[in-house]
Structure 1
C-alpha cells in the first residue's frame, strides 16, 4: 500500500509541480473563468426559481473559452482547439442575439 501512495505522490508531483509554468497558470485561470459561467447560471436560476441563462454566462464563456483556446493552441491539442474554437462561435452568437434584442426593445 505504501508503494501505491508513493507512486501516486510521484505522479501528482510530476503533473502539478514539475510542469508548473506560466502556461499552466494561464490554463488554470482560463478554467476558473470558464467554470464561473456555471456558477453564475446556477445562482441566477436559483434566484428566479427557473432555468435562466444571464448575459454574464456568455461573458464568462467568451473570456474562459478564448483563454482556453490560447492554452490549447500552445499545447498543440487538436481536440481541445476544435472544441474551444467551435464554442467561441456559439458564445459570440448568443451575445449578438442579446444585443440585438436590447436594441429592438429600446427602439420599440
Structure 2
C-alpha cells in the first residue's frame, strides 16, 4: 500500500464522516418531530473536519484547507466551541 493510497483512504473516511453528520441530524429531527442539532452531529462534524483538514493539508489544496478549519471557514473552531459551550452548560446545571 502506497502513501497516496493511505491518504486517499483518509480523505474518503473524512468525507464519509462529514456526510454522516447530515444523516445524524436528520434522524434526530425525525425522532423529535422538529428540527434539532444533536450533540453527535457536532462530534461527527469535528471528526470529519479534522480528517478532511489532514487530507487537504497533505494535498496542499489552498481552497480546501481554509474551508475545513483554520482560515475563513472556521469550521473546526465552531464545532469545538459549541462542544465547549455544551460542556459548560452541563457543568452549571449539575452544580
TM-score by length of 2: 0.89
2:53 is the counterpart of 1:69: yes
Equivalent residue runs for 1:12-31 within 5 Å: 21-31=5-15
- Distance between the aligned counterparts of 2:62 and 2:78, measured in 1? 19
The 4+ residue runs of structure 1 with deviation greater than 2 A are: none
Note the C-alpha offset of 1:79: 1.2
2:78 is the counterpart of 1:90: yes
Instruction: Name stretches of at least 5 consecutive residues in structure 1 with no aligned partner.
Output: 1-19
Q: From the CA coordinates, give the structure whose radius of gyration is larger.
A: 1
What are the Cα deviations for residues 15-47 of structure 1, in whole angstroms up to 9, with x where unaligned? xxxxx7111111001111111111110000000
Instruction: Name stretches of at least 5 consecutive residues in structure 2 with no aligned partner.
Output: none
Give the length in aligned residue pairs.
88
Equivalent residue runs for 1:12-51 within 5 Å: 21-51=5-35
Q: SS at 1:78's partner residue?
A: coil
Report the RMSD for the aligned CA atoms in angstroms: 1.0
2:88 is the counterpart of 1:104: no
TM-score by length of 1: 0.78
